[in-house]
Amino acid sequence: MKSFLKKITKKTLLISILTTLTSLQVMAYETDSMSDRTPMPNIIKLSPFTFLKGQIPMIHYERVIYKNLTASLGVTPILFGPLIGTLAFPPDKFKGGFAIDPELRWYAQSDKVMDGFYFGFYNSIRSSKWESLFSSKDVIKNKLSTPDLKVSSTKVIGGIHIGTQKLMGKHFTVDVNGGIGLSKSKTVAKKSASNQFYDQAVGASVNLKFDIALGWRF
């Protein structure tokens, strides 16, 4: 079980690193002439409602890479459990984690790039750890004990989304989008006293996405 947990952790970190490096490489692919053809090809954005998922507002960087194609990368630490939804093992002491959200977008030919309707692919990688005084399994079985559990969780999400991003004035932007995809997660809890493991494996499930971001184009 320990080797399986280590394998999951290493796999998640590898996916995170490869996804981040790929996104950064794509963003760096464009030439100076692309910047000349597309005035203000960069946007820094803030998603204020990601606190509902246990994150501080996520910061995104979006860049034009070719004509109406853009790439973006969002990063943020995870500081507490989600306010919407439940965890398999409710957190008593959250240890923290991270979230990485890369995206690719194609803006409509009838609109300007980064200023109009778009279609794209989104991806999200989340990893976090916390301590729990009890598990949902103990509650269901009506056990009186409240074991001290150390919990780690990873989730990978991928899907498609549509939205619109509008330039309000010269620099300020508003981005609204929604989408649907699939998510796969793995949660492992270890009882500190006995080293007994609880597994809460979740297969592929449907993931619904909605986000609003406020940005500054430059």
Compute the chain's Rg from CA coordinates: 20
Token couple for 173? 């932007």
Name the domain count of the chain.
1
Q: Per-block average pLDDT, block size 10, for the chain (218 residues)?
A: 47 55 50 55 94 86 95 93 67 88 94 94 93 61 59 92 96 97 88 68 83 96
Please tell me the predicted confidence (pLDDT) of residue 109: 85
Please tell me the predicted confidence (pLDDT) of residue 36: 44
Token couple for 106? 């194609």
Please tell me the predicted confidence (pLDDT) of residue 1: 46
Please tell me the predicted confidence (pLDDT) of residue 8: 45
> What DSSP string describes the chain?
-HHHHHHHHHHHHHHHHHHHHHHHHHHT---HHHHHHSSS-EEEEEEGGGGGGTBSPEEEEEEEEETTEEEEEEEEEE-S--SSS--SS--SEEEEEEEEEEEEEEE-TTSBTTBEEEEEEEEEEEEEEEEES--HHHHHTT------EEEEEEEEEEEEEEEEEEEETTTEEEEEEEEEEEEEEEEEEEETTT--EEEEEEEEEEEEEEEEEEEEE-
Q: Which residue has the tokens 């006995």?
A: 194
Token couple for 51? 């606190």
* Cβ-Cβ contacts under 8 Å for 81 (sequence gap 6 or more): 54, 87, 90, 91, 94, 130
Please tell me the predicted confidence (pLDDT) of residue 5: 40
Please tell me the predicted confidence (pLDDT) of residue 83: 62
Please state, in angstroms and rounded to a whole number, the distance separating the CA atoms of residues 101 and 158.
10
Please tell me the predicted confidence (pLDDT) of residue 35: 44
| pTM score | 0.75
Please tell me the predicted confidence (pLDDT) of residue 115: 94
Q: What is the CATH number of the domain that holds 121?
A: 2.40.128
Please tell me the predicted confidence (pLDDT) of residue 16: 56
Domain residues for 9? 2-217
